[in-house]
């Protein structure tokens, strides 16, 4: 077993970086002229892995999302890891939107990744382990080529590689 190498394909966001980006976004919202007197708020629910945005109208909601996305990009939080719910009316004439942060690869996407690995005909195995995919094989070159293939694939979610050994 010592002569096999492996790595895990995961889809997680660094919650500390998300928190830092949200703090920067809040500061910018407070300082911006077009948000003066606005009831715009950005709240992070860490246990649920979601961000709740509340604003006065659709225009300010779009501006808030633009600010958030620019802060996430600067902090290397992948934008593909964000899932936006539709904007809905909230109390007091405000609008509310929830953004889910991806935490783990769901079963269908994990099966898709394993199928892609098998279709390469390389001597590596892909196995689904909870919310991640472990890829193992004897040749480190084969593992590197699997990493390159996964990076080039256009998934609807962000992927990272961890535990390379």
Which CATH code of 3.90.1150.10, 3.30.70.990, 3.40.250.10, 3.40.640.10 fits the domain covering 15-101?
Answer: 3.30.70.990
Q: What is the distance between the alpha carbons of residues 97 and 79, in angstroms, rounded to a whole number? A: 16
Query: Does the pLDDT value for residue 1 go beyond 50?
Result: no
- Angle, helices 15-31 vs 58-74, to 10°: value is 130
Q: What is the DSSP string of 77-119?
A: --GGGEEEPPPEE-GGG-EEEEEEEP-S--HHHHHHHHHHHHH
CB 119 within 8 A of CB 77: no
**15-101 has the same fold as 5-12+104-162:** yes
What tokens does 164 get? Answer: 């390379």
- Judge: domain 5-12+104-162, CATH 3.40.190.10: no
Give the CB-side neighbour count of residue 123, counting CA atoms within 13 A.
7
Tens digits of per-residue pLDDT, 59-88?
999 999 999 999 999 999 888 888 999 999
Domain ranges of the chain: 5-12+104-162, 15-101
Tens digits of per-residue pLDDT, 124-164?
888 888 888 888 888 888 888 888 888 888 888 888 888 87
């Amino acid at each position: 077993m010592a002569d096999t190498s492996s790595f895990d394909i995961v889809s997680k966001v660094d919650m500390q970086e998300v928190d830092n980006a949200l703090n920067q976004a809040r500061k910018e919202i407070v300082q911006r002229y077009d948000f003066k007197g606005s009831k715009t708020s950005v709240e992070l629910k860490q246990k649920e892995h979601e961000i709740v945005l509340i604003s006065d109208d659709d225009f300010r909601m779009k501006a808030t999302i633009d600010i958030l996305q620019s802060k996430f990009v600067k902090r290397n939080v992948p934008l593909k890891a964000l899932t936006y719910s539709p904007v809905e009316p909230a109390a007091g004439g405000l609008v509310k939107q929830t953004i889910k942060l991806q935490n783990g690869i769901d079963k269908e996407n994990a099966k898709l990744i394993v199928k892609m690995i098998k279709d390469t005909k390389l001597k590596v195995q892909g196995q689904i382990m909870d919310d991640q995919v472990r890829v193992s094989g004897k040749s480190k070159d084969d593992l590197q080529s699997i990493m390159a293939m996964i990076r080039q694939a256009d998934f609807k979610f962000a992927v990272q590689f961890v535990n390379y050994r």
